[in-house]
Amino acid sequence: MPEATVAHVRAAIQQVGYVPNRLAGGLASGRSRLVAALVPALASPVFLETLEALTQTLAAQGYQLMLGESGYDDADEIELLENLISRGPDGIVLTRVLESEAARQRLVRSGIPVVESWDLTTTPVDMLIGFSHEAVGARVAQAMHARGVRRPALITGNDPRAQRRRKGYAEELARLGLLLTAGVDAVGRAVSNPSLRSNGAVSAPIVDDPLSLLPTAVVDAPAPMGSGRRALADLLQRHPDIDGVFCSTDMLALGALTEARDRGIAVPDQLAVIGFGDHPIAADTSPSLTTVRIDGRRIGTQAAEWIMQRAAGQPVTDRIQDIGFDLIVRASA
């Protein structure tokens, strides 16, 4: 078409204020150019990088992102998924691995490309990019051990992923022999002494339930800084000898740092603190926060590319990716 004709058409469109009907265009092409993303909490800073990368990568190819907030309730999540499916998106991105079999089967029947993220499983609904929460917990336990912590504790949210980090943390602490040196369990009950080698050195026998030996404060997710303050205060009341605490989010860790400072507890000399998520202000706290960083931008970019690839009728071969994580060592531990 001649340039003069194109310019004339564009001028006419501007003059009448015509806006293309994307729904009609989607019906004609068989593609809605909408992608739905489901997060447990829109206010959570943990997923911001992922959502930003997802939005930018999709927008560059003419796609729009719909956001849904599921909370931490399986029933609400299934209802929200039904609403999203009814809108006919070209793909659905979940910031978790679905555990509800009903929800999994509903997505499979829909035929919509699905990317689960921020987690790992050997049986994804469709595509998956994430990391092992158990491995995160184990790595933090190793860092506590290397730091010289001998009475580790935990402040954790009650969501499933935080509980898997809790499991990995407790099991690795038990393997390292750090859960059996205390005389009380997580709720203050007396426990048996650790077994001894013939030379009197403490061994690290198998612990049937490491979680019961780990001083723990559980808070409702999503948890603000204040929950971290109250949780550390509770732990110190029950277990005044703790010298290290792993927090399931940076917000909880920031609250713990604040409570420790107000109590005159030196971090990290008297109490090591490690968070999760690498919040934007984690490097600027006093002391700066040691934390676990997840490449959320990589997750969002890859999820968008997979969805667009499938929407274009192209297969995805490498549909499960473990991107791992990084322990960012700063001043708090």
- Residue ranges making up the domain that contains 262: 133-293
Residues 142-184 have pLDDT tens digits of 999 999 999 999 999 999 999 999 999 999 999 999 996 444 4
- Predicted local confidence at residue 206, as pLDDT: 47
160-175 and 133-147 are packed helices; what angle lies between their axes, rounded to 10 degrees? 40
318 belongs to a structural domain: yes
Q: Which residues on adjacent β-strands are paired with residue 39?
A: 69
315 belongs to a structural domain: yes
For the chain, the domain total comes to 2
8 belongs to a structural domain: no
Using the Cα atoms of residue 77, residue 82, residue 86 and residue 89 in order, give the sign of their dihedral: positive
Query: Based on the domain organization, do 27 and 109 belong to the same domain?
Result: yes
- Predicted local confidence at residue 208, as pLDDT: 64
- Predicted local confidence at residue 40, as pLDDT: 84
Query: Based on the domain organization, do 282 and 304 belong to the same domain?
Result: no
Residues 177 and 194: their CA atoms lie apart, in Å, by: 9
| CATH number of the domain that residue 316 is part of | 3.40.50.2300
Query: Based on the domain organization, do 139 and 261 belong to the same domain?
Result: yes
Tokens read off for 112: 């919509």
Q: pTM for this structure?
A: 0.82
7 belongs to a structural domain: no
Query: Based on the domain organization, do 145 and 174 belong to the same domain?
Result: yes
Residues 90 and 74: their CA atoms lie apart, in Å, by: 23
Query: Based on the domain organization, do 151 and 186 belong to the same domain?
Result: yes
- Predicted local confidence at residue 145, as pLDDT: 98
Query: Based on the domain organization, do 167 and 64 belong to the same domain?
Result: no
Tell me the average pLDDT across 255-272: 98
Query: Based on the domain organization, do 275 and 304 belong to the same domain?
Result: no
14 belongs to a structural domain: no
